[in-house]
C-alpha cells in the first residue's frame, strides 16, 4: 500500500496504482476508503467499470452489516 500511495503522490491519476490501492484497502477491511478510491478509478477510467464496481458493491454491502468494525487506516 505504501508503494501505491507514494506513486499516487507523484501521479494522482495513475489508474493501476489507484486500483491496487482500492483493492488492498478492501482486503484490509477499510471499506469506505476502498469505495472512495474505486470511485476515483471510475471517474478517471470508466472502462474499468467491470473491475471496480464489484469492490464497491461488496464494500457497501459489508458497511451495511451492523457491528462490523472499521479498522483505522494504516499509514
Domain count, the chain: 1
| Domain assignment of residue 42, yes or no | yes
**pTM (two decimals):** 0.82
Instruction: Summarize pLDDT for 25-56 with one digit per residue, the tens.
Output: 999 999 999 999 999 999 999 999 999 999 99
Q: What is the CATH number of the domain that holds 13?
A: 1.25.40.10
DSSP annotation of 73: P
Q: How far apart are CA 41 and CA 70, in angstroms?
A: 22
The parent domain of residue 51 ranges over: 2-63
DSSP string, 5-59: HHHHHH-TT-HHHHHHHHHHHHHTT-HHHHHHHHHHHHHH-GGGHHHHHHHHHHH
| Domain assignment of residue 46, yes or no | yes
Amino acid at each position: 500500500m505504501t508503494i501505491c500511495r507514494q506513486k499516487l503522490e507523484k501521479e494522482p491519476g495513475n489508474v493501476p496504482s489507484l486500483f491496487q490501492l482500492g483493492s488492498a484497502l478492501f482486503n484490509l477491511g477499510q471499506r469506505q476508503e476502498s469505495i472512495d478510491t474505486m470511485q476515483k478509478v471510475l471517474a478517471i477510467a470508466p472502462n474499468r467499470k467491470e473491475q471496480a464496481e464489484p469492490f464497491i458493491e461488496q464494500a457497501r454491502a459489508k458497511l451495511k452489516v451492523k457491528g462490523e468494525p472499521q479498522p483505522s487506516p494504516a499509514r
